Structure 1
Amino acid sequence: MPEYTILAVLSVLLTVAVERLWLRTGIFGTAKYWVAMAIVFAFQVPVDGWLTKLSAPVVIYDEAFSSGVRFPWDIPVEDFLFGFSMVTLTIMTWVRLGRRTTDEETG
């Protein structure tokens, strides 16, 4: 399996592990989180699609380092995996720090 693909899959596994084993924010069980992810991906598809389109790419990937699977509009699937990890880690951190601030103010 190519390096970029392996790292993308690992980023998702680590993100889920951080949520389930350490931060435990509960975001995966909330509608707000999934709506936020849908909004992120709704914007990611046209932007990433334009940047990576094979007909005139702005960003060029070395296919030797990725799976070569592109969907939709020539977007490497690894981009969605990394996008999930980045946004999810940010939301988890935001939620966790927000709770800490609220706990410190009330306690």
Structure 2
Amino acid sequence: MIPWGYTVPAVVSVIVVVLFELAVLKTGLFRKPAYWLTMAIVTGFQIPVDGWLTKLSAPIVLYAPEHITGWRFPWDIPVEDFLFGFAMVTAVLLLWERARSREEAR
């Protein structure tokens, strides 16, 4: 069974953001080492916070099992959280880059 509730939108969000950059915005963000450093820093903070929120021993955030793959790494974090996090942070940075380049063009 495909977990449509959370997994599919998480995967689709990554695809949409990447395609938006490659086909529409074309900011070159994915070629910048600063972007990848930023993503490493974001992930570094996401892991302890998300891990605390989703730990199976005393969860604060619960997921319906039928809506996720069940793959959790590390510290019980559903892998879908990393996909949504990537898409959200990347989308914001892409729009920021686009706005910056438009401002510089003026």
Q: TM-score range by the shorter chain?
A: over 0.9
Q: Deviation string for 1:59-90 (max 9, x for gaps)?
A: 00101101010000000000000000000000
Among 42, 58, 61, the residue aligned to 1:59:
61
Among 4, 24, 27, the residue aligned to 2:26:
24
**Structure 1 unaligned spans of 5+:** none
Runs of 4+ in 1 over 3 A off after TM superposition: none
Among 38, 46, 61, the residue aligned to 2:48:
46
Q: Give matches, 1:84-95, under 5 Å.
A: 84-95=86-97
Give the TM-score normalised by structure 2: 0.97
Cα offset, 1:9, TM superposition: 0.5
Aligned residue number for residue 2 of structure 1: 3
Cα offset, 1:102, TM superposition: 1.0
Code of the residue aligned with 1:26 in structure 2: it is G
CA distance in 2, matches of 1:30, 1:100: 18
CA distance in 1, matches of 2:31, 2:102: 20
Code of the residue aligned with 1:23 in structure 2: it is L
Q: Alignment identity in percent? A: 55
**Structure having the larger proportion of residues in helix:** 1
Give the TM-score normalised by structure 1: 0.96
Q: CA RMSD in A?
A: 0.4
Q: How many residues are paired up? A: 104
